[in-house]
């Protein structure tokens, strides 16, 4: 109970800070929107290839881009943690009776809430440029849920890296190194039937692809709920692993001060 309340306090604090710099939210949206519009246009003819069925490429692309926007915005979540460590804010919190986990959990919840808002905006833009989500409202809700789940995983990972490296340059390097390959080694842009063999193998163990597959299936005309449940379950498991890692990183930070 106390822990939940503390997570709440920290989440409100982080959301409020973000609310005061909305350009950050807009900035993390710009890239996925560009991808949606640019790739949607550039690869229009790709959908003529066998393997895409009869849907338009933009309809194929939309769920993937929603997940991508979650990945982009959550990866930077640890930056605020580094800034607060360097400014002494974290230490000030740690000498108060705050629940230790709440300091990071609050920030991750904030990231997940931002991702939900971003995902709604992305879905709106996708609909406006001609994508359809035959899975209906339930499908879209599942898409947003897995997007938030993946975002929570990466936000937690980002905070763990932040606690371990405590250097903005290192975090920027790690995030940049991870985000693009994870996006391309997935079915975000190309159906799995058309991926080269090794890429297909990699995509099977790529959490980004779990989220994309679950989201795409949920929003498709006929949903494979077993697949959605399996991928969502895998993401939940990954979140637990990331949380353990974050707790470990937090302990190592405390030992170092």
Partner 1 sequence: MKTSVDHGPAIEADRLVKTYPGDVRALDGLSLTVPAGTIFALLGPNGAGKSTTVRILTTLSRADSGTARVAGHDVVREAGGVRRAIGCVGQRSAGDREATGRENLRLQGQLHGMRGRDLGARVDELLEQIGLSEAADRLVRTYSGGMERRLDVAMALVHRPQVLFLDEPTTGLDPEVRADMWREIERLTREHGLSILLTTHYLDEADRLASQLAIVDRGRVVAGGAPEHLKAELRGDAINVELTYTANGAVHAALDPVPGIRELVVDGTSLRARADEGARAVPLVLAALEAGGIDVASVTVARPSLDDVYLRHTGRSFEEAER
Binding site for partner 1 (CB under 8 A): 6, 9, 13, 16-17, 20-21, 87-89, 91-98, 254-255, 257
Q: How far is the CB of 171 from partner 1 (least distance, A)?
A: 19
- Whole-Å CA distances, 175 to 51, 105, 138, 164, 236: 32, 19, 32, 14, 21
Calpha distance 126→163 (Å, rounded): 36
Q: Which is nearer to partner 1, 16 or 44 (CB)?
A: 16
Q: Which is nearer to partner 1, 13 or 166 (CB)?
A: 13
Place of tokens 């985000």: 179
Q: Which of 59, 67, 86 is nearest to 169 (CA)?
A: 86
Q: Which is nearer to partner 1, 44 or 92 (CB)?
A: 92
Q: Which of 96, 87, 70, 83 is nearest to 235 (CA)?
A: 70
Q: How far is the CB of 23 from partner 1 (least distance, A)?
A: 13
Q: Which is nearer to partner 1, 89 or 178 (CB)?
A: 89
Q: How far is the CB of 81 from partner 1 (least distance, A)?
A: 13
Q: What end-to-end distance do the CA atoms of the chain give, in Å?
A: 29
Radius of gyration of the chain (CA): 19
Q: How far is the CB of 153 from partner 1 (least distance, A)?
A: 25
Q: Which is nearer to partner 1, 44 or 251 (CB)?
A: 251
Q: How far is the CB of 100 from partner 1 (least distance, A)?
A: 11
DSSP state, 190?
S
Q: How far is the CB of 40 from partner 1 (least distance, A)?
A: 36
Q: Which of 4, 206, 12, 218 is nearest to 107 (CA)?
A: 12
Q: Which is nearer to partner 1, 98 or 114 (CB)?
A: 98
E strand or H helix at 253: helix 225-256
- Whole-Å CA distances, 80 to 11, 89, 93, 256: 13, 11, 14, 19
């Amino acid at each position: 109970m106390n822990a939940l309340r503390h997570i709440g306090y920290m989440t409100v604090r982080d959301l409020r800070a973000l609310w005061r710099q909305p350009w950050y939210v807009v900035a993390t949206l710009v890239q996925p929107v560009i991808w949606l519009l640019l790739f949607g246009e550039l690869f229009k003819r790709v959908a003529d290839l066998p393997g895409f069925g009869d849907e338009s490429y933009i309809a194929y692309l939309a769920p993937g881009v929603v997940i991508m926007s979650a990945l982009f915005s959550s990866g930077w979540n640890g930056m605020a943690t580094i800034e607060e460590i360097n400014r002494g804010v974290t230490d000030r919190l740690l000498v108060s009776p705050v629940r230790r986990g709440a300091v990071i959990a609050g920030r991750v919840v904030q990231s997940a809430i931002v991702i939900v808002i971003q995902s709604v905006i992305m879905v709106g833009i996708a609909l406006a440029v001609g994508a359809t989500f035959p899975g209906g409202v339930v499908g879209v809700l599942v898409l947003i849920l897995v997007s938030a789940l993946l975002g929570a995983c990466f936000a937690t990972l980002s905070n763990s890296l932040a606690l371990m490296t405590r250097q903005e340059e290192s975090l920027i390097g790690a995030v940049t190194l991870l985000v693009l390959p994870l996006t391309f080694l997935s079915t975000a842009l190309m159906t799995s039937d058309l991926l080269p063999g090794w890429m297909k193998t990699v995509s099977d163990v790529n959490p980004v692809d779990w989220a994309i597959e679950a989201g795409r299936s949920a929003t498709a005309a006929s949903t494979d709920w077993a697949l959605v449940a399996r991928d969502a379950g895998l993401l939940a498991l990954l979140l637990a692993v990331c949380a353990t890692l974050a707790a470990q990183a937090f302990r190592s930070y405390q030992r170092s001060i």
